Structure 1
């Protein structure tokens, strides 16, 4: 098993694990073409996570929210405003879509974004809040909205 491959049960446990901010730093939501990486940790400080926020350069409604474990393992990713995703079996999934870690494939599989968890994908701020809820971020970092969100 590669260092970036986890058993599915371990990945599922990491996704479900309560996550908290590492410090009281304040962050600015990225502008067009920008990105932000926010450190998170488990409540017992045994696991480290990263919350990634990426914005499109031209299209303000294009971007990615991502939760990583162990620096490189993508557990959950939401892509919005972009191109469809082609799964390893050839199925094309339109954007927005959700990637969940799958053993042996990492983040290569996507599914339609569940409306119950992400009811308003056009509101990027609310979608970020929904994403943190989905990833079980219980003590959230301070992220300032900015002008274009």
Structure 2
């Protein structure tokens, strides 16, 4: 388990994708995982883009640390998320690691984080920026994602 300051340090760390290749945005019913590392420490991260559904508008973007600690997640399209206090947060929303709760708390998704939740490729670019990924490669999409 991480403390909130440790999670914040990990989220704020400048990161570089291990592969500088273009990113192939996943098609429906598939997903990709990008490997990243901190340029300041030896920390490593996995960034998942999941479209394991037939709903063309639904996508989940997630940042993991040590393969099993979910630091950050954005859900586009889907049901509202029930928070531990009983409040419900509609999609799109963001989950940020919280000590003692992991990623069980969701928050409304700000337009300062994601500029257009209807453009799934742009959401990926914004998500990578929010993760402090430097040198974001081009994202290629062979399918219509809007």
Q: Is TM (by shorter chain) over 0.5?
A: yes
CA contact (8 A) 1:76 1:100 kept: yes
Among residues 27, 34, 39, which one is paired with 1:43 in the alignment? Answer: 39
For structure 2, list consecutive stretches of 5 or more residues without a partner in the other structure. none
After superposition, residues 1-149 of structure 1 pair within 5 angstroms as 5-44=1-40, 46-141=42-137, 143-149=139-145
Question: What CA deviation, in whole Å up to 9, does each residue of 1:35-65 have, x standing for no partner?
Answer: 1111110114500001100014221100100
1:74, 1:103 → 2: CA distance? 11
Which residues of structure 1 form unaligned runs of 5+? none
**Number of aligned residue pairs:** 145
Indicate if the aligned counterparts of 1:19 and 1:139 stay in contact, CA closer than 8 A. no
TM-score, normalisation: structure 2: 0.93
Q: Deviations over 1:82-131 (max 9, x none)?
A: 11100011101001000000000000000110122212100111111111
> Shift in Å at residue 139 of structure 1?
2.6
Please report the RMSD computed on the Cα atoms of aligned residues, expressed in angstroms.
1.4
**Aligned equivalents of 1:44 and 1:142: distance in 2?**
24
Deviating 4+ runs (over 4 angstroms)? none
